[in-house]
Amino acid sequence: MKFTRFGVYIFLVAFLFGCSGFMDEASPPHNPPIKPSNIVGNESDYLHKGITINGKVLPGNAACTLIGCPPENPCCNSCSAPLFLVDVDATDISAGVEMRPYANIKEEFVCSGNECELSCAPMTTGKSYHIIASWQKDEQDKYYLQVYNYTDLIPGFNDF
């Protein structure tokens, strides 16, 4: 009887610790949240790993049409930008990471508007979030945060 309990115990320990780094949409990571700046400069360390991350949303660098705007309408160009996640106290995207949605999120992560004002969706610019994601690399060798789920960052609850 002791051998059976011991065998079950060993199996459970091996299973729990052996699968702790596995990530798919059915098994979110169980590690404490990191900041986006933890990833910058260490991109290969996080590749294909599930992470929880806390940060603030800001628009990335915008691409705009190049129409010469008249003085009475200085914001006539259309612009779009990717959605970035930065540390909660950051003011720019220099230590931020680009976000893209996983297939379960039906909305595209994008900011759009003109050279005077951009609005982002589905997340709000300047707002902080708690995110479950994985760190990926696309065909052009560009790293990005593939977002599986996100909720508002609640101080004292999910800010750890």
Provide the CATH number for the domain around residue 103.
2.40.50
Would you say residue 62 lies in a domain?
A: yes
Total domain count, the chain: 1
Position 145 scores a pLDDT of 97
Would you say residue 159 lies in a domain?
A: no
Per-10-residue mean pLDDT of the chain, 160 residues long, equals 44 37 45 92 95 95 92 94 96 96 90 93 94 96 96 78
Would you say residue 61 lies in a domain?
A: yes
Would you say residue 3 lies in a domain?
A: no
Would you say residue 46 lies in a domain?
A: yes
Would you say residue 157 lies in a domain?
A: no
Q: Which domain holds residue 127?
A: 31-152
Measured CA to CA, the distance from residue 18 to residue 118 in angstroms comes to: 44
Position 80 scores a pLDDT of 96
Question: CA of 23: how far to CAs of 71, 125, 150, in Å?
Answer: 52, 28, 16
Residue with tokens 């628009």: 59
- Phi-psi category of residue 48: left, alpha or beta, with phi > 0 → left and psi -120 to 50 → alpha: left
Position 71 scores a pLDDT of 92
Position 67 scores a pLDDT of 87
Position 155 scores a pLDDT of 78
Structure tokens at 111: 């900011």
CB of 81 closer than 8 Å to CB of 64:
no
Position 160 scores a pLDDT of 56
Would you say residue 107 lies in a domain?
A: yes
Would you say residue 121 lies in a domain?
A: yes
Position 156 scores a pLDDT of 74
Position 30 scores a pLDDT of 53
Position 159 scores a pLDDT of 61
